[in-house]
Amino acid sequence: MFSVGVREHVMIAHSFKGEVFGPAQKLHGATFVVDVEFRAREMNEAGIVVDIGRAHSTLGAILEPMKYQNLDELPMFAGVNTTTEYLARHIFDALKAEAKPDGRLGPGADAIDSIKVTLNESHVAWASFEGPIAG
């Protein structure tokens, strides 16, 4: 299995509903380091898994609407606890939608088998979502 990774970061504010979240029920900020790994059993016809430049710019475009925003106020997150796990899945779904011949990841991206998105909350805590692209 081949893999290619890119990294970006995003600064957000949000709050959570539910006693399980303790003090995080109040509005607070977070800076996530976002790592994405694109995996493929075989390289595409260009001899790569994905174009690194396109992968990085696509990740940046997906994160842009969240940057410096209070996620509680964004319609796309209405009524949702924007946990680290939830955000990893959200970013995965957006990247998956771009892994097609006419998507932002470019020609040959349909050869990607799976994507793993990891949001690092700090040097001691992170959450990931990983899933297949086909099917």
Predicted pLDDT at 25 = 95
For the chain, how many residues are written?
A: 135
The pLDDT of 92-106, averaged and rounded, is 92
Instruction: Express each pLDDT in 29-83 by its tens digit.
Output: 999 999 999 999 999 888 999 999 999 999 999 999 999 999 999 999 999 999 9
Distance separating alpha carbons of residues 25 and 29, to the nearest angstrom = 12
Predicted pLDDT at 114 = 97
Distance separating alpha carbons of residues 11 and 23, to the nearest angstrom = 19
Share of the chain above pLDDT 70, in %: 99
What CATH number has the domain spanning 2-132?
Answer: 3.30.479.10
3-state SS assignment for residue 87? helix
* pTM for the whole structure: 0.95
How wide is the angle at C-alpha 46 spanned by C-alphas 97 and 131, nearest 5°? 30
Question: Which 8-state DSSP code applies to residue 75?
Answer: G
From 133, 127, 79, 94, select the one nearest 110 (Cα to Cα). Answer: 133
pLDDT confidence band for 94 (50 / 70 / 90): very high
